[in-house]
Amino acid sequence: MPGQLAIIPRDEHGISRSNISDNALKVLYRLHKAGYQALLVGGGVRDTLLGMHPKDFDVATDATPEQVNKLFRNSRLIGRRFKLVHVIFGRDVIEVATFRAPPQENHSKQQAATGSEGMILRDNVYGTRDEDALRRDFTVNALYYNIADFSVLSYAGGWQDLQQRTLRLIGDPETRYREDPVRMIRAIRFMGKLDFDLSPETAEPVRRLAPLLEQVPSARLFDESLKLFLAGHAASTFELMREYQLFGHLFPAASECIEEDDFALELARNTMKNTDLRIQADKSVTPYFFLSALLWPAVLRMQRNLESKGMDSHPALHKAIDSVMAYQCQFTAIPRRFTISMREVWELQLRLPKIRSRKCRDLLGHPRFRAAYDFLLLREQSGEDLNGLGQWWTDFQQEHGVPEKTPSSFTDKTDRPPRRRRPNRPRRRKPSA
Ligand code: ATP
Ligand code: MG
């Protein structure tokens, strides 16, 4: 039976309290002592059972958000679409969610709402623990660790699916994808992260329903894209996103180039590999660097198109950037703080070839120089023939050093702080500025 509950006692599973963060334990114990149910759920349980380190611990309870909020002075109520409580311990945040019931027709609009295509818009109807389990996405995400007796609760066969490394949606897959099309992206994200397979019935509707992603708010898709590509498994996730025909609904212009042009594909693959390597090496990754690489072929294609109609390269680039960005943001909205830096990285691609200019030294102090230079190397590595330009800039930096402090605004020369030069300073390869 799909909703069947199995209880795995403490000596038959691999989670012990030493695997759980002190803060999560504090929250669990306080709720339990106050007479509420208190369980870990989601990635914290799933990843710990797989011997991985979860990135956070989520708590589920039968206490309402208001009751949880009263119990913890260091907590705050958040969310409208999905009301929950954050218990804050410095930089560590434990998310506490009240058990939810599945969406039903007869609830008031304030509590739950479903859109015309069956999409859930609000989700604040509280329910029992059993109901809470069945409205979660995958069976392996509906495993709970119960602080009352240290057992693991498995619903809908989650425990078996975990052993068999299978992602299976709870309930009817098509209905569940229609309720929330982001579950298609989550399926790919967990495949990439956990190296699990999709069960056949969970995989089947994805290509067919992929266009539903276009109804998801573009700001939410941006957040999901970052989770997809900036979590250390970008290379495998990218191939899966293409295979399941989802990538084109997030980044349509980039996707068109990638499917038609070897350089665009190679650049995207190298960008993904590069991102994963940086994360493995504990280096920073910035969304703007990643995104400027992904969208570059689309910008370049449009710029060349405009040039062929007689426009000069600079205005053509600006116009190309504007239209690629405007189109992109209809699907996955990139916040302005990133689009500004992306534009700078792209504009620098036109300035870096001007190596005879006396302004070359100034470019070293540009806040986006490092990213633009790294991107230049990536372009060459992906097959663009730039006549040894990357090496030229490598040598130039060796010779002139990189200023210690970068000015906040490159164009405003009066603001520019004095530069300290250090000859032969070793090369830093951070794309962030
Ligand atoms: P990770 O934290 O590694 O990304 P996670 O499984 O914890 O993985 P979260 O986004 O933190 O993912 O969500 C926590 C839990 O909430 C999930 O495990 C799942 O049970 C439930 N959940 C999250 N998003 C959805 C969704 N769109 N539909 C149904 N359930 C969801
Ligand atoms: Mg989580």
pLDDT in tens, 392-417: 999 999 988 765 544 333 333 333 33
Rg (CA), the chain: 25
pLDDT, residue 317, reads 95
pLDDT, residue 80, reads 79
* Ligand 1 pocket mutation pick from 136, 193, 202 by most atoms within 8 angstroms of CB: 136
Range from 180-184, 195-199, 357-361 carrying the lowest mean pLDDT? 357-361
Three-class HEC string of 131-195: HHHHCCCEHHHCEEEECCCCEEEEECCHHHHHHCCEECECCCHHHHHHHCCHHHHHHHHHHHHHC
> For 32-45, how does the pLDDT look when each residue is reduced to its tens digit (9 = 90+)?
999 999 999 999 99
Catalytic status, residue 58? yes
Pocket of ligand 1 from Cβ distances under 6 Å:
42-43, 55-56, 58, 136-137, 141-142, 180, 182-183
Coil, helix or strand for 39? strand
From the candidates 123, 132, 137, 161, which is the catalytic residue? 137
pLDDT range class, residue 3, cuts 50, 70, 90 = low
149, 51: one domain: yes
pLDDT range class, residue 356, cuts 50, 70, 90 = confident
Catalytic status, residue 62? no
| Cβ neighbours of residue 71 closer than 8 Å, sequence gap 6 or more | 30, 31, 34, 63
**Residue 90 within a domain:** yes
Q: Which ligand is nearest to the CA of 231?
A: 1
In angstroms, rounded to a whole number, what is the distance separating the alpha carbons of residues 248 and 256?
7
Closest listed residue to residue 99, CA positions, set 73, 69, 72, 136:
136
How many contiguous H segments (helices) and E segments (strands) does the chain have?
Answer: 20, 12
The separation between the first and the last C-alpha atoms of the chain, rounded to the nearest angstrom, is: 54
In angstroms, rounded to a whole number, what is the distance separating the alpha carbons of residues 391 and 3?
61
238, 367: one domain: no
Does pLDDT of 319 surpass 80? yes
> For 58-105, how does the pLDDT look when each residue is reduced to its tens digit (9 = 90+)?
999 999 999 999 999 999 999 877 789 999 999 999 999 999 987 665
328, 372: one domain: yes
**Residue 175 within a domain:** no
23, 150: one domain: yes
**Residues 143-160: what's their mean pLDDT?**
97
Range of the domain at 372: 263-400
CATH code assigned at 393: 1.10.3090.10
CA of 155: how far to CAs of 165, 202, 423, in Å? Answer: 16, 17, 63
Does pLDDT of 427 surpass 50? no
pLDDT range class, residue 242, cuts 50, 70, 90 = very high
Domain tally, the chain? 3
**Residue 426 within a domain:** no
Ordered alpha helix ranges (H), 244-286? 247-250, 252-260, 262-280
Coil, helix or strand for 34? coil
**Residue 207 within a domain:** yes
237, 267: one domain: no
Q: Which ligand is nearest to the CA of 137?
A: 1
**Residue 258 within a domain:** no
> For 128-138, how does the pLDDT look when each residue is reduced to its tens digit (9 = 90+)?
999 999 999 99
The residue whose CA has the least distance to atom 14 of ligand 1 is: 42
Catalytic status, residue 412? no
**431/233: higher pLDDT:** 233
In angstroms, rounded to a whole number, what is the distance separating the alpha carbons of residues 276 and 232?
5
387, 280: one domain: yes
**Residues 252-266: what's their mean pLDDT?**
96
145, 10: one domain: yes
The residue whose CA has the least distance to atom 5 of ligand 1 is: 43
**Residue 3 within a domain:** yes
203, 68: one domain: no
**Residue 220 within a domain:** yes
**183 Cα to the center of ligand 1, angstroms:** 9
199, 330: one domain: no
Counting from 1 in the atom list of ligand 1, the atom nearest the Cα of 193 is: 3
pLDDT range class, residue 118, cuts 50, 70, 90 = low
**141 Cα to the center of ligand 1, angstroms:** 7
Q: Which ligand is nearest to the CA of 140?
A: 1
